[in-house]
Chains A and B, each alone.
Chain A
Amino acid sequence: MTTIDNSRPGAAMGEGLPAPVRMGGEGARTIRAGFIPLVDAAVLIAAAELGFARKEGLTLDLVKDVSWANVRDRLAFRQFDIAHMLSPMPVAAMLGLGSNPSPTIAPFSLGRGGNAITLSNRLFQRMQEEGDPGEVESALAHARALAAVLSRMRNGGEPAPRLGVTHPFSSHNYEVRYWLAAGGIDPDRDVKLVVVPPPLTSDALAAGAIDGFCVGAPWNMVASERGLGRIVAAKQDIWPSAPEKVIGMRPEWAESNAETVSRLLLALDQAARWCDEPANRGTLAELLAAPRYVGAPVEIIRRVLAGEFTIDAAGNRRVIDDYFVFHREHANYPRPGQALWLYSQMVRWGQARLSPEMQALAAAAYRPDLYRQALGKAAIPADTAIRIEGDRPGDRFMDGHVFDPADIEAYVRSFPVRASMAGVSVEQES
């Protein structure tokens, strides 16, 4: 059984970088870590605040930032040693995509869950007029009802609704596109995808600047609590196993600070176990609610962590099991197969070319070898090889597709809604 990271050990090292210097007794004990104020930075924050890092002889210096572009650039330009990153960011970086690609690897995933899609009340009301089941929660039914609304809007000459995402290389971008496309909606033609900083989504929805959005916690709940919108799908509805945020670092830094990386992963592993304990969720909510971290009402964060959703202003509720998984079911293990799924979506939407070389680069962004080195054989899942995704109970894609990393081209072609496969960006019509 081999994984791609083992078969191509050099692929993740980056080219043209200075040779790593290995120092005896590694000086770097303070790690500067960039993060964005979101609930899914929990493991990193808990590691810094609750003694897990200190136990490993590390000081985690957390720096709050305002944009993913900043996080990426500050990591690339060595202002950060590590960073809380969107799971597709290291993959995009390895593929040379975006405006400042610089080699980035992910040896640890910060868990699963946390995203959702919220639409404005106005849009949701029109969906109900088109036969949306309303009370019955079905992400697919909601998407189909939206498709009917959009076709009516197009015929009536109304402008396409604007949906907010967070970054072109974000799980949110791929999730909202997956959801739309599963309902028969072309995300590049039938709606206009725009970028809105997550803390501003509620206000943007209230002002009518956007008609919906897909972002992480707690911002969907914040909007629905304010009576501004209706949550129509959660990440769990689209693909429960999708990796959400990861710890990113420069491969050359990981090389020259191997011992520090191992200790960091030990600290993060302990923090992730702690975050997963239901008994600790109250303390965690209070920690995250602080202005220096997420800066949102503690009660909302508590309910977000429990997956207790108020889905609309009328107070309709829905409980999503495992809305946040910080550790269980090998949630921290960086599966190269998941990097390949993200790559498949980049190909599907015209962001990346399809080629064996690109595929190898994408898989090499996730580094289970470093995870294993730090946490030992006992910590890693039985199925370490690149596996088929979406074929197990509790791990289905919302449209029933199954992802076989061995044939990405066939997988992408199997979707009726996708960009052309030429490998270039699609011009957006406006």
Chain B
Amino acid sequence: MTHRDLTILVIDENAIRASIIEEGLHEAGHRKVTVIHEVQGMVRTIETLRPDVIVIDIENPNRDMMEHLFQLTRTVGRPIAMFVDRSDTASIEAAVEAGVSAYVVDGLKKERVKPILDMAVSRFNAFSRLQRELADAKSALEERKVIERAKGILMKMRGLSEDEAFALLRQTAMNEKKKISEIAQSVVTAAGLLM
């Protein structure tokens, strides 16, 4: 039994995230995947493409435009928002949490659509995890930098060795129940005020 390939449209203003989704769809064997990042020409794309499934990020203010389009034209079949199976609350919640919304042409079988949405959800999540990790790495680097600067200030102002300066920062952090980087930041700020 062969199925017609599903036509899938991904609308995401974030080009990187969109390409991650696109790649996932290709890996899953979908060949008819179109990605758009801009509103311009969205209506025409939907009308000519006639997608079976539309994946759109939930922060996209143009969802109302799509609702309007579905009201007016019948070229897109009868799309229903989000999910084929409303009783599947767990996957619905997971999708909304992840920031995915989707439109599916009414009548499509659940088993054909669910893997697409599950994949979109996991890739959206992977993308935000990646962003979080990047932000964490950045702030770790910032923290190290500020500790280095604080050590330098203490060495210069109090004539300490590097190890002694670090020990002082650590001891103060323990006494104050704060992070070393926070104490280091205070030292840097104070030095800036005093010098």
Contact = CB atoms under 8 A, between A and B. Distances in A.
Contacts of A70: 58, 63, 101
B119 interface: no
Given A68-B64, A168-B71, A74 B79 contact: no
Given A66-B61, A428-B73, A79 B68 contact: no
Interface in B60-116: 60-74, 79-82, 86, 89, 92-93, 96, 101, 103
Interface in B2-16: none
B82 to A, nearest CB: 6
A351 interface: yes
Nearest to B40: A209
B96 A200 contact: no
Given A77-B92, A100-B81, A194 B68 contact: yes
Interface in A177-212: 193-197, 199-200
Contacts of B92: 77
A351 B63 contact: no
B23 interface: no
B64 A166 contact: yes
Contact of B82 (A66, A73, A199): A73
Contacts of A194: 65, 68
A319 interface: no
B38 to A, nearest CB: 13
Contacts of B60: 66-67
B121 to A, nearest CB: 13
A306 B150 CA distance: 56
Task: Classify chain B: how many residues form its interface, as a range.
Answer: 20 to 34
B61 A197 contact: yes
A335 B12 CA distance: 40
A77 B101 contact: no
A351 B71 contact: yes
B148 to A, nearest CB: 36
Dominant secondary structure of chain A at its interface with chain B: loop
Contacts of B182: none
Contact of A427 (B69, B73, B80, B96): B73
A100 B68 CA distance: 13
B61 A428 contact: no
B162 interface: no
B59 interface: yes
A425 interface: yes
A99 B61 contact: no
B188 to A, nearest CB: 31
B68 A67 contact: no
A70 to B, nearest CB: 6
Contacts of B96: 73-74, 77, 79
A77 B92 CA distance: 7
A47 B152 CA distance: 52
Nearest to A199: B61
A99 B65 contact: no
B100 to A, nearest CB: 11
B66 A69 contact: yes
Interface in A408-430: 425-428
A167 interface: yes
A288 to B, nearest CB: 20
Nearest to A168: B71
B68 A195 contact: yes
Contact of B68 (A167, A199, A426): A167
B137 to A, nearest CB: 29
A230 B9 CA distance: 38
A381 interface: no
B142 to A, nearest CB: 26
Contacts of A98: 67, 71
Of the candidates B61, B79, B92, the one having the most CB atoms from chain A within 10 angstroms of its own CB is B61
Given A74-B96, A99-B103, A100-B80, A428 B72 contact: yes
Contacts of B73: 427-428
Contact of A196 (B58, B65, B74): B65
Contacts of A200: 61
Interface string A86-106: 000000000000111010000
B80 A99 contact: yes
Interface string B102-144: 0100000000000000000000000000000000000000000
Contact of A167 (B67, B81, B89): B67
Contacts of A100: 80-82
Interface of A: 66-70, 73-74, 77-79, 98-100, 102, 165-168, 193-197, 199-200, 351, 425-428
What are the 8 tightest A-B residue pairs by CB atom distance, in nearest-first order?
A: A100-B81, A69-B63, A195-B68, A197-B61, A195-B65, A168-B71, A99-B81, A67-B63
Interface of B: 58-74, 79-82, 86, 89, 92-93, 96, 101, 103
Given A67-B60, A67-B64, 14 more contacts: A70-B58, A73-B82, A77-B96, A78-B93, A100-B81, A100-B82, A168-B72, A193-B68, A195-B67, A195-B68, A197-B62, A425-B71, A425-B74, A427-B73
21 contacts: A66-B60, A67-B63, A68-B67, A69-B63, A69-B81, A69-B101, A70-B101, A73-B101, A99-B70, A99-B80, A99-B81, A100-B81, A167-B64, A168-B71, A197-B61, A197-B64, A197-B65, A200-B61, A351-B71, A425-B71, A428-B72
